Amino acid sequence: MDVSKPDNFKVSLDVIEKTMTGAGPSNYHPRIRQAMSLPVLGHLHTETLKIMDDLKEGIKYLFQTRNSLTFCVSGPGHAALECALTNLIEENDVILIVCSGIWGTRAGNIAKRLNANVKMLYKHVGEQVSLKETRECFRMYKPKIFFMVHGESSTGMIQNNIEDYGNLCREFDCLFIVDCVITLGCTPLFVDKWKIDIAYTGTQKVLNAPPGISPITFSQRAYDKIVMRKSLVKSYNYDAILLGEYWNCFPLRPRIYHHTICSSLLYGLREAIAIFIENGGLEASWEKHGKVTRKFHSILEKNGLQLFIENAENRCPSVTSIKVPDNIDTHKIISYAMNKYKVEIGNGVGMTLGKIFRIGLMGVNCKDELAERVANILIEAIRAIENEKV
């Protein structure tokens, strides 16, 4: 053999259970774990196709849309982001991207690869954009596509007036893409009512489902733009029309084989949506996330910690960002919590790395007891590391 057998596999697989309270993934509900261990099925087996049909209905409910082109991309949230941009962008199309954290930057990176004419509307990290300044950019750039993040997980900020931007996009004949990866299920989102043309999300946050299968929905306007393209969609894997044919989004067209979908991920997501609905659905989840997170914030503030997003209304109810006290090394706090309690405290990311802690209380992890526990562990860790220095 040119390459010999690695010894690594002589040690059996060992995975410990952690409390997943970083910015995601969150813990699975035990039923999701069970569902994912069900037997594998083929990607065109009748039972698989029925699960895919169920999922489409579940996703339409979660997004509050009647869009028929609604399905899951096989891949993480990044794949859904890439799918949204790849289908809409044709060479030299002007895209306006709001950027106040890493997700605007990532969208810009992908758009450049697709040879779009990228215009960035930069805001300070954690700061909301206003409708007025966005309108000015629309006048200046006449974008064909507008991209906005509903919840910026790198800062914990929610852009809580996204419903105002749908009309602006219609006025300028522009398509509206919204990243709802950390907001779907924790705060109101109405894709149809708010005139959003493409919305996508991740499954590993509020839904507590496995990552790797990402819901996305396309409006009729988005569909029209795709079918009117002069050039082929630059990616086979993310071609929304082909994916829509596999997911049976066009009743008059035959179902096609596009790729081999992972049936275990479908089971996990189906069970996650079933649990979400059993627990009262969207309204109950919005209320729970709002209540638990407010309580979490008040414990932190009572103990002298400062939240990174100063205006309470702009704080995302799923991921909380907390300012790192002066002269504290975030890595030490994170290791303390993990080593002693197996509890995840997230670091900042991009511009916020080392400046904030990020804590996600999402889905099954969104409960008062856990909010108190994580807050106490963070406070204990900070005191312990501060005392170490004396």
Residue ranges for the binding site? Answer: 358
Output the smallest distance, CB 202 to ligand PMP, in A. Answer: 4
What residues form DSSP beta bridges with 146? 96, 176
Cα distance between residue 144 and residue 310, in whole Å? 33
The binder of ligand PMP chosen from 22, 24, 244, 317 (CB under 6 A): 24
Output the smallest distance, CB 214 to ligand PMP, in A. Answer: 7
10 Å Cβ neighbour count for 110?
20
User: Does 344 sit near ligand PMP (CB under 6 A)?
Assistant: no
Output the smallest distance, CB 302 to ligand PMP, in A. Answer: 28
- Own/partner pairs, 235-244, CB within 8 angstroms, 24+ separation: 235/82, 235/83, 235/86, 237/74, 237/75, 238/73, 238/79, 238/82, 238/83, 238/86, 238/87, 239/86, 239/87, 240/69, 240/83, 240/87, 240/216, 243/71, 243/73, 243/83, 244/69, 244/71, 244/218
Output the smallest distance, CB 263 to ligand PMP, in A. Answer: 20
The binder of ligand PMP chosen from 117, 141, 211, 281 (CB under 6 A): 211
Region binding ligand PMP by CB under 6 A among candidate stretches 70-78, 253-261, 264-272, 359-367: 70-78
SS3 62: helix
Cα distance between residue 351 and residue 354, in whole Å? 9
Query: How many residues form the binding site for ligand PMP (CB under 6 A)?
Result: 15
The binder of ligand PMP chosen from 63, 71, 103, 165 (CB under 6 A): 103
Angle among Cα 207, 213, 217 to the nearest 5 degrees reads: 85
CB nearer to ligand PMP: pick between 24 and 126: 24
User: Does 104 sit near ligand PMP (CB under 6 A)?
Assistant: no
Cα distance between residue 303 and residue 180, in whole Å? 31
Distance of CA 382 to the CA centre of its chain: 29
Output the smallest distance, CB 384 to ligand PMP, in A. Answer: 28
User: Does 105 sit near ligand PMP (CB under 6 A)?
Assistant: no
- 146-205 residues in contact with ligand PMP (CB under 6 A) are 149, 151, 153, 179, 181-182, 202
Closest CA to 27 of 369, 370, 352: 370
Residues 6+ apart with CB under 8 A from 289: 185, 186, 187, 206, 317, 318, 361, 362, 366
Output the smallest distance, CB 106 to ligand PMP, in A. Answer: 7
CB nearer to ligand PMP: pick between 23 and 69: 23
For ligand PMP, which residue has the nearest CB?
77
Q: Write out the binding residues for substrate.
A: 358
CB nearer to ligand PMP: pick between 76 and 166: 76
Output the smallest distance, CB 24 to ligand PMP, in A. Answer: 5
Contact residues toward ligand PMP (CB under 6 A) are: 23-24, 76-78, 81, 103, 149, 151, 153, 179, 181-182, 202, 211
